[in-house]
Amino acid sequence: MRTISLVTQKGGSGKSTLASCIAVAAQEAGERVFIIDMDPLKTLVNWSKLRGEADIPVEVVPSAKLAQVIAALEKKGVTLCIIDTPGTSSKETEAAMRASDLIVIPARPNVFDLWASETTRKAAKEARREFVFVLNQCPPANQSARVEQGSKALEAMGGLLTPLIQARVDFQEAARNGWGVTELNPYGDAADEVRKLWSSMKRRLAKGKTSSRKAA
Ligand SMILES: Nc1ncnc2c1ncn2[C@@H]1O[C@H](COP(=O)(O)OP(=O)(O)OP(=O)(O)O)[C@@H](O)[C@H]1O
Ligand SMILES: [Mg+2]
């Protein structure tokens, strides 16, 4: 089983949106997915209620029990555990980072998010875990200077997953129904981006596995 956490010390960058959409896309690609919601706002618990199906279980887990729950999920045959975290530094965020094979740090292409990304990067380094950035809510003209600056900054900070995720109505519509964008509009551009993003994450996870085996 592989564990991914979505982390930033910044509200609204898209942690819960990307966590739910990646969960659905990964499940469609054959993974057995389990979501752990560590945000006191319980965004993904509520998303799951709207969804109304138990195909992707979502559970609230306190930080003190996280390691134990993750070990139990692995024994049950879950192949991908996705952890959503609050938008502030907290004991939940720290526990999630420590439990992760890969920390995914979403940022919007603006300077405030980039500053917050730097803080999260430091925390991920301290936790000695693999981390990578995703640029989310990009304006439609990808070539804009703001997007280019954001991409370069995140690449320099430790790596940017492809593709860039654009601001698209599908993300908000899918959330409203408890779906992922690949369910809402399977042939849409948002669905295409999320499937590609999951492929990039998967490759990154596989790379991490190889290097930790080498290190062992
Ligand atoms: N790519 C996108 N396109 C359009 N809207 C988006 C996109 N990503 C996120 N959003 C919207 O931005 C808002 C914030 O997203 P979300 O709640 O996922 O952020 P978050 O990082 O989980 O925030 P918090 O730290 O408060 O939990 C939501 O209204 C969501 O629908
Ligand atoms: Mg959230």
- Domain interval for residue 121: 2-205
- What is the rounded distance in angstroms from the CA atom of residue 207 to the CA atom of residue 86? 27
From the CA of 166, give the closest atom in ligand 1: 1
Residues lining ion ligand 2 (Cβ < 5 A) are 15-16, 43
Task: Write the residue with the smallest CA distance to atom 15 of ligand 1.
Answer: 14
* Half-sphere exposure of residue 69: CA atoms within 13 angstroms, side-chain side: 22
The answer as to whether 95 is a domain residue is: yes
- What is the rounded distance in angstroms from the CA atom of residue 125 to the CA atom of residue 103? 10
pLDDT of residue 143: 62
pLDDT of residue 148: 87
pLDDT of the chain, 216 residues: tens digit per residue: 999 999 998 899 999 999 999 999 999 999 999 999 999 999 999 999 999 999 999 999 999 999 999 999 999 999 999 999 999 889 999 999 999 999 999 999 998 999 899 999 999 999 999 999 999 999 987 568 888 888 888 888 888 999 999 999 999 999 999 999 999 999 999 999 999 999 999 999 998 766 554 443
Query: Residues for the chain: how many in total?
Result: 216
34: nearest Cα among 11, 55, 65, 12: 55
Distance in Å, CA 55 to ligand 2 centroid: 21
- What is the rounded distance in angstroms from the CA atom of residue 135 to the CA atom of residue 170? 17
Coil, helix or strand for 38?
A: coil
pTM, two decimals, is 0.95
The answer as to whether 198 is a domain residue is: yes
Secondary-structure percent of the chain, ordered helix, strand, coil, rounded to 5: 50, 15, 35
The answer as to whether 13 is a domain residue is: yes
The answer as to whether 214 is a domain residue is: no
Is 173 exposed, middle or buried (CB count within 10 Å of its CB: 0-12, 13-18, 19+)? middle
How does DSSP assign 137-203, residue by residue? SB-S-TTSHHHHHHHHHHHHHT-B-SSPPB--HHHHHHHHHT--HHHH-TTSHHHHHHHHHHHHHHH
Rounded to 5°, angle at Cα 54 from 50 and 56: 90
Query: Ligand 1: which of 93, 171, 181 to mutate, most ligand atoms within 8 Å of CB?
Result: 171
Is the alpha carbon torsion for 130, 131, 132, 134 positive or negative?
positive
Distance in Å, CA 137 to ligand 1 centroid: 8
Distance in Å, CA 37 to ligand 2 centroid: 9
The answer as to whether 211 is a domain residue is: no
Answer whether 13 contacts ligand 1 (Cβ < 6 A): yes
Answer whether 47 contacts ligand 1 (Cβ < 6 A): no
Distance in Å, CA 18 to ligand 2 centroid: 9
The answer as to whether 216 is a domain residue is: no
pLDDT of residue 209: 66
Q: What is the DSSP letter of 64?
A: G
- What is the rounded distance in angstroms from the CA atom of residue 74 to the CA atom of residue 69? 9
pLDDT of residue 211: 54
The answer as to whether 164 is a domain residue is: yes
Answer whether 11 contacts ligand 1 (Cβ < 6 A): yes
CATH value at residue 54: 3.40.50.300
Query: pLDDT digits over 107-151, tens only?
Result: 999 989 998 999 999 999 999 999 999 999 999 875 688 888 888
Q: What is the CA 204 to chain-centroid distance, rounded?
A: 13
The answer as to whether 59 is a domain residue is: yes
Number of domains in the chain: 1
Distance in Å, CA 106 to ligand 1 centroid: 10
pLDDT of residue 213: 45
